[in-house]
Each structure stands twice: as C-alpha cells, then as structure tokens.
Structure 1
Amino acid sequence: MLGIDERLAAIRGSSDRKRHNARTLAALTTNPGCARRAILDAAGVHKDKIAARVGHPTEIGKMSKIAVLRGTFFEQQVKAEGGAEMLRLLRAELGLPIEQAHYEDLGAAEVDATDPRSKREQSNESRYQLTRQAMRMTAGSGPDAGTMFASPMLRIAFGGVWVYLEPDLVAFQIGDKFHIVEIKSFPIIDEVADPGKVAGALRQAAVYVIALQNLMEELGRGRDLVSPEVLLVCPKDFTNQPTAAVRNVRKELAVIRRQLERMDQVREILRAVPQEVTFDLAADRQGRPTRSPADLKRALNQIPARYSPDCLSNCEMGRFCRSEARGSTNVLGRTIREDLGGVDSTSMAVALATGRLRPTDDLEETAHLLRTIYTMRADCLQGAS
C-alpha cells in the first residue's frame, strides 16, 4: 500500500499542488464533515479545474478588478506613513494607551538566487524567518513595546506541507499581548456590517491567530501571548475613512483547530477511498485535459460528500455536489437535515407529511412534525385564497 504522501500525490495526479492560504483554510470550517473536500484539499487538488471539467464552473475566489483595486487602495491607506492611520485607530477608536509605536515592514526579505528552491518558496521562508526573529526580539522587550509589523509572514502545517500566510497589515503588541489586524474593504454602516462578510473575515483572522500562536510556541513563549481578540478595520459608512472594531474569535479558533487536527488524520479518511481513484487532469499537446468528464464524475462519486447550501459560497465543488444531492434533504440545509434525521429524501418527507407513507416507530415523531407543518401550510394557503 502506498504511503500517505504518495497516495495524496496519486490522487492529485500531474498537476502542481494547490497553494492554500488563510481564506481556503478558513473555508474548511464551513463543512467539517465532508470527506470529499477533506481529501481534495489535503491532496492539493485544484478544485476549480475539476468543477469546470465536470460542467459546474465556479466563481469562488475570483474578484473583479474594481474590487481588487478598492481593497488594495484601502489597505495602503491604512498602512501609509508608517502606520499613522493604524496608530490613530488604536488610540482614538479603541482607547489604547499607546504613546509611541515602532513600525517595521517585514515584507521585503531578500531572495538568494543560488538557492535551488523556487524564488517564491524561498521568499516565503526568508520572510517567515525574518518575522520569527522580529517576534522573538519584541516578545522579550517588555509590555510597553507598542510595536507594529507590516506584512509579517506566518505558517501553518496542512496536509504535510507548510502553508504560508500573510496577515493583511500588522500584528501589534500592546501590554503583554500580540494581536492580529484584519483589513477588509466592505463597509461598516451605522456600526453594522454584512454578517456573512464579517464571519468570513473573523474566520480568516482566526487562522492568523493560530499561526502566530504556533510561532510563539516555537519561540518558547507560549500561545497565551497571542490574544484571541482581533482588530477588524473597514471603511466607515460610505467613505474611505477607516474605522475599527475589536472581535473575539475564540469560537472560530476552536472550530479551525478541530478541522486542522482532522486533516492531520486524513490517513483514516483515505481508508474508505479506492486505491485507483485519481483526479489527474493530464493535458494533451494542445493543453486540453485528456480525462473525460464522465470518468472524472465517477472518481468524485467514490468519495462521499456532505453537501449543504453553504458550500455554494465556500467550496469550488459546491455546484457539482448540489446537482449530485438533488432530491435529498441535504439541499435543505444542515439544520433541516438534522431535524429530519432518518428522512433521506424530500420525496420521503412529502410522503410522510401527506400521510401517503406510514412511518416506522423511529420516524413517528418526525412524521408527526411534518404532518403538523403540512396542515398549517394548507390552512395558511386556504386563508389567503
């Protein structure tokens, strides 16, 4: 039997391994029980290419040029002039007692051209070592260091490889804690922001917190030195004026840690996957995939999925899995699926609700609930007419 690394490489095929980032790691938490996603992500499969080949292309991860430019401009505005705007937010918006702060840009590590590794990988590792050195010095400089770091490079072990992560702007130390800052270009209007976008930003920030906690443990300082409270910076109302809010990500930290531990146990998940399964998209001389869509679908069907509507906005395979789950209670969402425990299809739910199917003893309570809801619906429709 192949080793874990060889097995994952065989599943990936001839394609380069997908480079994960904080967004893709955070997205893992939205459906932790999905074996299909666990295998594809651990192997580094390019799910967007697989989805397109089987006829379900995705827009996940793609941003318009305008959105990219807006986000870049806002980030540059916050970090301009040595983090002057950031310092203003820390003082005025949050009332933090920072009299002065040192600002250091960690995004300019030099690359040794003689190193045989790729420039990108070497640059990431060089910047990580630079960040490690800066954090070690600052962690031992006392509680009043007030230091801000632009573009620190962190890392997390995932699927047997290092995933390098770059927080949007800075990690800063105030008192005896380090904090993560997450900058987003979606607005906070009248102190309210889009809940979905805020949730996604906090999941990403939690990934950075875990990576910084791991670094502190490497340095022998302990993860408690990193605060679970993160700073979310967004435009205020309909302007580009930055505003800040503090959010606690303890819940997100727990969920992401569980999922990362689960990915470390991917060997157990692989036991149920046939040895011949692969998602190789080897191309011909014209650059076209030689794998037929039908053959690729058969390979996908060998790994069980756990679809929920959230997958459409968090996983490149969401549209394919939705078409595969059509007619099952999975398409109704996780909450309804759990409420209808034992009812696997929408046709079965309708049959129980209308009395056309006699429930077994273990489904009697569920059937009673469905009949009650069906009767209430009928009464509402009759009253409306």
Structure 2
Amino acid sequence: MSPAPAKSRVWGRLAELRGGPDVPPRALDARALAALAANPGCRRRAILDGAGVDKTALAESLGAPAVFGQSQFALTRGNAFEARVKAGEGAELLRLVHTTLDPAAEPPREAAVPDLSAIGPEGRTARTALALREATAARGTWTLLDHPMLALDVAGSPTFLEPDAVVVHPDGSWSVAEIKSFPMLDGAADPAKVGAAARQAAVYVLALEEVAARLEPAPRVRHRVLLVCPKDFSNLPAASAVDIRKQRAVTARQLARLTRIQDIADALSEGTCFAPDLPAAELSAAVDSVPATYAPECLAACELAFHCRARSRAAGAVTALGRPLRAELGGLSTVDDVLSAARGASGDPDDPAVAALRRATALRAEALREPAPDEPALPGARADREVAPCR
C-alpha cells in the first residue's frame, strides 16, 4: 500500500475512535506533548491524544473528572501580558531577545513581522515554513514570527504546535520565545514552573529542527530560549535565557520510544470508540481495553488521571505508589506479590528486591517483638508499650 492511502486509512481509523469524521480532533499542544513524552509507556494516552479525543469530556463521562489547568482569570491575565510584550510589532520582545540571547548583534531598530495567516493548520504550517526560509535568506535583519504553526511527527501522527513567538536573528539562526504569566521575583521564577516551560519549549525546538533540516544550508536552531515573565508584582516584562539542551534530549528520546499510534489502533477490537456520549459501561470498557501506565505524576498532567488511579489501585499495581518504588521492586508488579515475597511465600531469594523485602520484614518483626521479662527494654521505650500522650 502506498504511503498516501495508508495514511488516509490511519486517519479514518482515528476519526472512528473519537466518534466519527464529523467530530473535530482536539489539538495536541506542546504542554500535552511534553506530558506524553514524560510517560511514553502509556498507550492509553498515546492513542487518545493521537485520535484527538476530548479527554476532559471523556473523564467526566467516566465519572472521574480531573480538576487542573489554568483558571479563566489566569488565561485572561496571560493574554493581556502577552499582548503588552508584543505591542508595537514586537519591539519590546525583540529588545529582550537582543539583550538576553544575542547582545553582539545589531539592535533590532526595524524588524519584519510577516503575515502567517492561512487556511487550516496545514496551510499555516506551510506559510510558517516559507516565512522562516525567506527570513533566513534575508540575513542582516531581525524577523519576528508571531504565533507560527509548526508540525512535529509523534508516533507516526502529525501534531501541530503553536509557540508564542519564533525570532530569526540577523545571522540566520532561530530562537524560541515563551511568554508566561507567572512572576519573576528578584530575577528568578518558580523552578517548577520554569522546568515546565523548558520542557514545553524543547518540543518547539524539536519541531523547528525538523523545518531547518529541510533547508540548505540548514540554519542553526538555538538551544537557549527566551522566557518572558512579569517582573515582581508588576505587569512589566522581565526575561531570562533558559538552556533547554537537557530537556530537548530527554523529550526527543522519550518521543522516539512511543509506540506508533497505528500499531495501537490496529490492536483494538473492531468498533472500539471513545466518544464521550456513549453509555458509561461501554465507554469504560473501551478505555480499559487500552493498557495504561499510571503514576502519581499523571495527576498534574492528564485528564484521565483519577480514572486510571482507581483502576491501578483496584488491580493492586505498585505503580500507584510512584515510579521510584516501582523501579526498586524489579519484577514485583503488584502489592500482593510484594507482600508474598516479603513473607517468604514466593519469590527468588537471590533476587535483590526479594532479599531486601525479607530483610526489612525481619527487622520490623524484631523491632516489634515483645521483650522477655528479664530482657532490658530499649532506651526510651516504655515497658507497657503505650504511646506517650501529645503535649
């Protein structure tokens, strides 16, 4: 089968999974893509995101809605701050790019701001690629691309991404600018939020590198991105350079590990559908037919986290207790397996995890053992083992 019909068949299958061709796919943004890359073993999220299923509506239909994300107030404040940073054809944003990322270049007294409007995400992606090519060829000038559209292949399915801005420097190199509404206090922002922004920017850099690879010669995509935040408690912009080389390498490696969406879809039974308006029992059976890899980190990144947590707990999976503990337990994947191995009822004694569990069980039993009448009690312990009252 030629590539075009094969791709059309895959897209048709994905449309069936979300409820039919009349149901528009939900866009996968860089934040969701970074969360997907952080858990590449979760086939459930991969197929739902690849098919464009509305996971928020799906979680509500399953009776396990997840409450997270930005409030409407935060979104409004963020949009107002971004508009201020980009006012005057991006003069302030370009000034921050110049002073923070490229101070040796000529100051951006005049800059090009090309029109990137086009029909559909495919048209906007093509228009962005053309604007990048033209701006790179016109060396010696600054160019600001406001909300360009980039495409990134994820597990065999195209994903369209929209960074806040991409700047083409006078030397022809490209850099990403991310505008966030969380404050930068005394020159430093919340490390957790900066880390999330860096992972998001790493996705944009990977998409830009795919565009650059199609040009000859390929321009340099800078791995230091510009993070713009409100200064202290004002609405004035402050900027810092964030090195995202580590995040880019990790994200690229994790995305490469994702099972192809076509392979996951082919493994599903005929008629499987994730439309939120289906009966709850049928919808739950369809969702549970796709393996998930739940971890507590999912609670901050996935709309189906509460549903998957309930299923993980019901199955006694140790992943519900966290990835570090799961890694320590080796081949013991359920709580029952762990308890059985700790008691000596199962497990290979030469297995380091089993040996550690049995050693811990013996130490616990020794610590809780009642002392003999002639045996001195441990220092500080009460003979009657009553708990001292709180003062």
Shared fold per TM-score greater than 0.5? yes
Deviations 1:254-289 (A, max 9, x none): 3433454455722333454333422234xxxxxxx2
Between the aligned partners of 2:78 and 2:263, the Cα distance in structure 1 is 40
1:274 equivalent in structure 2: 269
TM-score by length of structure 2 reads 0.80
Is residue 302 of structure 1 aligned with residue 289 of structure 2? yes
**Of 101, 105, 113, which aligns to 1:105?**
113
> Does the CA contact (< 8 Å) of 2:38 and 2:251 recur in 1?
no
User: How big is the shift at 1:165?
Assistant: 2.4
2:19 to 13, 21, 36: 13
Q: Give the direction of change, closer, same or farther, for the CA distance of 1:213–1:264 in structure 2 (3 Å limit).
A: farther
Q: Give a deviation string over 1:317-340, Cα, whole Å, max 9, x none.
A: 111100000132111111111111
- Cα 1:171/1:90, change in 2 over 3 Å: closer
Equivalent residue, structure 1, for 2:226 = 231
How far apart are the structure 2 equivalents of 1:264 and 1:220? 31
| Other structure's SS at 1:361 match | coil
> C-alpha offsets along residues 121-150 of structure 1, whole Å, 9 cap, x if unaligned?
x154444344333221221233x4333332
Contact kept, 8 Å, 2:344 with 2:358, in 1: the verdict is: no
Summarize deviations over 1:280-333 as a string: whole Å, max 9, x none: 34xxxxxxx2x2212211112211111011111111111110000013211111
> RMSD value over aligned CA atoms?
3.1
Contact 2:155 2:256 (C-alpha < 8 Å) held by counterparts: no
Could you tell me whether the CA contact under 8 Å between 2:183 and 2:231 is conserved in 1? Answer: yes
| Runs (5+) with no aligned partner, structure 1 | 112-121, 282-288
Structure 1 residues 32-71: aligned runs within 5 Å: 32-61=40-69, 63-71=70-78
Structure 2 unmatched ranges of 5 or more: 1-5, 369-377, 382-386
The CA distance in 1 between the partners of 2:60 and 2:142, in whole Å, is: 48
One-letter amino acid matched to 1:361? D
The answer to whether the 8 Å contact 2:155/2:260 transfers is no
Cα distance in 2 for partners of 1:162, 1:348 equals 41
Residue among 249, 257, 264 paired with 1:254: 249
Partner of 1:132: 129
* SS, match of residue 33 in structure 1: coil
SS of corresponding position for 2:189: coil
Alignment partner of 1:184 out of 180, 197, 204 = 180
1:155 Cα shift? 2.3
Cα separation, 2, equivalents of 1:68 and 1:5:
32
The SS at the match of 2:181 is coil
Distance 2:64 2:199 in 1: 26
Name the counterpart of 2:320.
331
Could you tell me how far apart the structure 1 residues matched to 2:152 and 2:134 are?
A: 21
AA matched with 2:36: L
1:219 aligns with 2:215: yes
Q: Rg larger in 1 or in 2? A: 2
Q: CA 1:172/1:13 → structure 2, altered by over 3 Å: closer, same or farther?
A: same
The yes-or-no answer on 1:79 pairing with 2:66 is no
Deviation at 1:8, TM superposition (A): 2.4
1:44 and 1:363 mapped to 2: Cα distance?
A: 47
**Could you tell me which residue of structure 1 aligns to residue 197 of structure 2?**
201
Shift of 1:376: 7.4
**Aligned AA (2:193):** K
Question: In percent, how many aligned pairs have the same letter?
Answer: 38
| 2:35 counterpart SS class | helix
- Normalising by structure 1, report the TM-score: 0.81
**For 1:343-358, what aligned pairs fall within 5 Å after superposition?**
343-350=332-339, 352-353=341-342, 356-358=343-345
Instruction: Work out the number of aligned pairs and report it.
Output: 359
Is the aligned partner of 1:29 residue 2:37?
A: yes
- The amino acid of 2:286's aligned partner reads A
> Which residue in 2 is equivalent to 1:152?
148
Output the CA distance in 2 between the equivalents of 1:192 and 1:362.
50
Give the equivalent residue in structure 1 for 2:375. Answer: none
Residues 39, 175 of structure 1: CA spacing in aligned structure 2 closer, same or farther, 3 A cutoff? same
Distance 1:236 1:29 in 2: 31
1:106 and 1:131 in contact (8 A); partners too: no
User: Equivalents in 1 of 2:97, 2:16: separation in Å?
Assistant: 49
Counterpart CA distance in 2 for 1:363 and 1:303 is 34
The one-letter code matched in structure 2 to 1:7 is R
**Equivalent pair of 1:179/1:227 in contact (CA under 8 Å):** yes
Of 227-236 and 361-370, deviating more is: 361-370
Deviation at 1:25, TM superposition (A): 1.9
* 3-state secondary structure, aligned to 1:163: strand
